[in-house]
């Protein structure tokens, strides 16, 4: 079952955390998988790819904070992008490294 199916946020503003955590867990599991460690030279590159995707969107004029204020449910689709998913996953990884 996907992580997003197990969590519910209070409102769409916090969509980034749910989706970022799911992407973080995906990359973390891939980087810890012994079978992948023998296939890929450096599984940590999954996290760097996520950061690269997020930052490449972040430099565009359409950039926005990771946490996007959503006034109405119809606006929620604007929060589904590489900034919310990939850059957010990089922020979650940074938090995981600091907190442990």
In order along its 100 residues, the chain shows pLDDT tens digits of 565 666 667 788 888 888 888 888 888 888 888 877 777 777 678 788 888 888 898 899 988 888 888 899 888 887 888 888 888 888 888 888 899 8
Look at residue 61 in the predicted model and tell me its pLDDT: 92
25 within domain boundaries: yes
CA 61 from centre of chain: 20
Look at residue 73 in the predicted model and tell me its pLDDT: 87
From CA 39, how far away is CA 6, in angstroms rounded? 31
Q: Domain range spanning residue 40?
A: 10-99
CA 35 from centre of chain: 23
Look at residue 6 in the predicted model and tell me its pLDDT: 65
Enter the pTM of the model.
Answer: 0.77
1 within domain boundaries: no
The SS3 assignment for 36 reads helix
2 within domain boundaries: no
5 within domain boundaries: no
Domain count, the chain: 1
CATH code assigned at 23 = 1.10.390.10
Look at residue 24 in the predicted model and tell me its pLDDT: 87
């Amino acid at each position: 079952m996907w992580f997003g199916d197990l969590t519910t946020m209070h409102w769409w503003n916090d969509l980034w955390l749910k989706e970022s955590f799911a992407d973080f867990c995906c990359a973390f599991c891939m980087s810890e998988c012994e079978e992948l460690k023998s296939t890929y030279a450096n599984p940590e590159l999954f996290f760097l790819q996520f950061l690269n995707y997020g930052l490449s969107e972040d430099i565009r004029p359409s950039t926005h904070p990771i946490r996007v204020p959503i006034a109405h449910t119809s606006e929620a689709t604007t929060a589904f992008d590489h900034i919310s998913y990939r850059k957010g996953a990089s922020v979650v990884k940074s938090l995981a490294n600091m907190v442990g």
